[in-house]
Amino acid sequence: MLTVQNLSKSFQGREVVKGVSFRLKPYTATALIGPNGAGKTTILSMIAGLLKPDRGEIALQGARDLRREIGFLPQYPKFFEALTAKEVLELCGHISGMQASEIRKRTQEVLDIVGLKDMMNAKADNFSGGMKQRLGIAQAILHQPRLLLLDEPVSALDPAGRREMLDLLKQLQQETTILYSTHILNDAEEITDEVLFLQDGVLVEQGSLEEMKRRYADDIVLIHVEAPEQAEAFAASAPFAVQVEGAKIIIKREDGGPAMRDILQYASSLPFEVSKIEKQAASLEHIFMKVAKRS
């Protein structure tokens, strides 16, 4: 639904986004992942129309005015100090040219969606970080955009705020296409269909999370045995490096680790049977470390 082609941007002669191209599928959540300074905010700001690209194309299928179809949550949402949550949303509605009756209806709806209905007459400035973030989401979805852009929606939140935000994003994912930036990979794993790895302004890997987990999976082999003592016995005479966790043996095969054949041969030479041998699905963190090392 969104196509980004060859997007580039420089600041003071330094190119910070370098020929980035990707497509978003409708009703998917895509995580833009990368270390600090990789260019995530710059890319989101260009898609949101807040920054002009030096080169490249941004097209949203069937849209004439991109801004009407896009909702944006900045990294640090700020609201006018004197306004209540309801007034913040009403102001946003007026600014984006919505009809008064529509603004009234949608304000109630989105306050309900983000769980702030009981707080609608409280001053937004007194809100906690998590509540501000949820109000930020409310203003981003007020005009029912087809694409929701979220810049680090969970990074600044405490664990309870993060949980609330992740649950809210899961709910929004059902009805909108989401592109969000993050460097908190555990959280991203919960709500991500597609992944874009950005490093130093370059997209170094992209694809579906499931597909990537499979592709990077064969690096770690898990062997399950009946009892921790058997796992210790397995480790004691293993001709390769292993790690023991209870009745589980973990073998990392990257960087010159053992071949699968050698692992199976060694396992079958022991005086007890293993219950299960499996390849561990790679975590996003593991994939990210591999991609970062390779690039």
Using CB under 6 A, list all residues that contact ligand ATP: 11-12, 16, 34, 36-42, 183
User: What are the CA-CA distances from residue 169 to residues 31, 95, 191 (Å)?
Assistant: 12, 25, 7
Picking from 291, 207, 284, the residue whose alpha carbon sits closest to that of residue 254 is 291
Q: Which two tokens stand for residue 66?
A: 């991109």
CB nearer ligand ATP, residue 38 or residue 251: 38
Shortest distance, position 58 Cβ to ligand ATP, whole Å? 16
CB nearer ligand ATP, residue 16 or residue 83: 16
* Bridge partners, 224 (sequence order): 248, 276
DSSP, residue by residue, 89-136: HHHHHHHTT--HHHHHHHHHHHHHHTT-GGGTTSBGGG--HHHHHHHH
CB nearer ligand ATP, residue 35 or residue 228: 35
Query: Looking only at Cα atoms, what is the longest distance across the chain?
Result: 77
CA 8 to chain centre: 22
Shortest distance, position 187 Cβ to ligand ATP, whole Å? 14
CB nearer ligand ATP, residue 181 or residue 230: 181
Shortest distance, position 54 Cβ to ligand ATP, whole Å? 13
Shortest distance, position 94 Cβ to ligand ATP, whole Å? 28
CB nearer ligand ATP, residue 42 or residue 176: 42
Shortest distance, position 156 Cβ to ligand ATP, whole Å? 11
